Chains A and B, each alone.
Chain A
């Protein structure tokens, strides 16, 4: 056992990368749930985003266009969910699960023929001065654009929810759709927009995996990250900053368990592999004391009776 071989600076830096797809998907889902909608189809939207982004990036040679395409792909798939739950008033749990099934199938159909291709590499942001700073430069300022985009989106969502009128309306719709409707807000329209935003974010999260983190296309490559993102939102009690914290924590536990293994720590590997999930449950229990922010209308069907 040699713990000194674990470099904390590099650990923190790789944590930021490991957390990014989770962060993107979770913050999108947070907005959806704040609007009172539970979309369990995150995994399906992520994998669809992953292949849309990959295909466009490979065909155009431009990874940024790929990210845009991923956002569009995720949003288009989520539109299906929006139609089902907001127009046809279908059960959200079932629709979300169906969306994942559909998305996994769709992505592998689109992805036929994209195996064994290396996508164009993503521009890495090097901020003169900042990136060269000792310690912090490596941890904070030497990542690709998407890492920062994730942080910007979290900040924007936080600001929007807390300080803007749009955020207020969104929360009102999620807390009490009847009242929001009575006040003249277009509940269905707002929710559809929130769902589309969630789809776009999940799509980008998927593209982060297929374009940057792995980068390649293989079927089912998101391997369950969408489900973790769902857990994160509740874990965070629907607060954007806690999503950030949770994403780093979850990504961190995985990276740390691999680090401990490589350092030869004698804990049975299967228990290390379980640890991210067990710790998530533990934190869920601790956090559940704080029930203040669960949107009151979450998962409930809204139908304007008049």
Chain B
């Protein structure tokens, strides 16, 4: 009988090997799925993973990886800090929406005035909006012990209604013939989060994501707050002895995650998306949770995972259009990727042993 045995120390080899094995396993299982759907599995896999990076149109898709990946990475970095400390914020989608609303709101308030200070104000408003929305579950948890998973999740639905209300009311474009949705910030230079170099995909959100990755890495490895976060997650009791204030940690972790999610929303609404509309949010807040785990809650891992996830989206769209694969198949494929990584990850901390005793 096979038995899992805990390794005295996490295996260094498996830390690197696990994602590779997981991706290969996903390709095999996904290929089988595609074959079942009557598509050539090799062509499908190539279309998803190879074409966006190296085909003749890669000049267009590579920048798109940044556009699609940046919000995922930005949100996931924030979430990972909380996850490490055992604080479960799964309402990043709501914080993303509110950040976009406050950010765009400030921009629209100034319309049509031009000024260098407008965009920085919007950035601050976006971060603040996300922070405020995430602070609600944080304060409720600290004050009343309310479960943050559920409060943050409920607030997603509230934020969605708020978004609908804003698109139909307060922020509706007065020149939009009564249609829902705000003015397009892409056509308002002072508020436009434009590409820094045309055609590169680099906008301020990408820069922010990059800064967040570095910042999180330094904090987790060098700063006392990072130490407290890790300690709380790994040994809560020891953390208390070490003088960690759990309430403060909850406020900081949720607040930071909210601020980053809010920033992501703000950069998205003022850049690639351009406008507040009823369906502005597209699930980045939820996908970021998956990205955080795919990246093993490690900043560098998250950066890679965010790009990988973006690749499956972009490649998935190409596969839909060229091969007629249904969107559902791509969704399952992404689910498989996560499953395999989670399953293979066990090898990092455990090893297989052949024994004759029955496992409990």
Contacts and interface: CB of A to CB of B under 8 A. Distances in A.
Chain A directly contacts chain B within the complex, with at least one CB pair under 8 Å: yes
Interface of A: 40, 80, 83-84, 88-91, 93-95, 97-99, 101-109, 112, 181, 186-189, 219, 224, 227, 230-231, 234-235, 268, 270-271, 273-274, 277-278, 280-281, 284-285, 288-289, 291, 303-305
A242 to B, nearest CB: 14
Contacts, number: 146
Contact of A95 (B155, B328, B342): B342
A289 B342 contact: no
Given A98-B290, A224-B157, A231-B153, A284 B147 contact: yes
Given A291-B145, A304-B360, A101 B153 contact: no
Interface string B328-343: 1111111110110011
Contact of B289 (A97, A189, A305): A97
Given A106-B328, A284-B146, 7 more contacts: A102-B335, A105-B335, A230-B153, A274-B162, A289-B145, A291-B145, A305-B6
B350 interface: yes
B338 A98 contact: yes
B4 interface: yes
Nearest to A274: B161
Interface in B88-120: 88, 90
A274 to B, nearest CB: 4
B144 interface: yes
B290 A101 contact: yes
A274 B153 CA distance: 13
B105 to A, nearest CB: 16
B359 interface: yes
Contacts of A186: 360
Contacts of B153: 227, 230-231
Interface of B: 4, 6, 37, 83, 88, 90, 140, 144-147, 149-151, 153-155, 157-158, 161-162, 164-165, 168, 286, 289-290, 293, 326-336, 338-339, 342-343, 345-346, 349-350, 359-360
A285 B157 contact: no
Given A109-B328, A277-B155, A278-B158, A89 B338 contact: no
Contacts of B360: 181, 186-189, 304
A231 B328 contact: no
A151 to B, nearest CB: 25
Contact of A231 (B150, B326, B342): B150
Contacts of B338: 94-95, 97-98, 101
Given A101-B334, A102-B332, A277-B157, A88 B290 contact: no
Contacts of B4: 89, 303
A262 to B, nearest CB: 19
A84 B332 contact: no
Interface centre among A99, A101, A108, A189 (most CB of B within 10 A): A101
B335 A101 contact: yes
B342 A90 contact: yes
Binding site of B, secondary structure by majority: helix, strand, loop or mixed?
helix
B33 to A, nearest CB: 9
A35 to B, nearest CB: 14
B147 A98 contact: no
Contacts of A280: 150, 154
B342 to A, nearest CB: 4
Nearest to B334: A101
Contacts of B158: 274, 277-278
B283 to A, nearest CB: 10
A289 B144 contact: yes
Interface centre among B146, B333, B350 (most CB of A within 10 A): B146
Contact of B350 (A89, A227, A270, A289): A89
A211 to B, nearest CB: 21
Contact of B329 (A88, A94, A105): A105
Contacts of A101: 290, 331-332, 334-335, 338
Contacts of A278: 154, 158
A88 B343 contact: yes
A284 to B, nearest CB: 5
Interface centre among B4, B155, B335, B359 (most CB of A within 10 A): B335
Nearest to B343: A88
A139 B161 CA distance: 32
B333 to A, nearest CB: 8
A189 B329 CA distance: 32
A287 to B, nearest CB: 8
A274 B345 CA distance: 40
A112 B38 CA distance: 14
A277 B146 CA distance: 15
A137 B223 CA distance: 67
Contact of A284 (B90, B151, B162, B293): B151
B312 to A, nearest CB: 11
B293 A105 contact: no
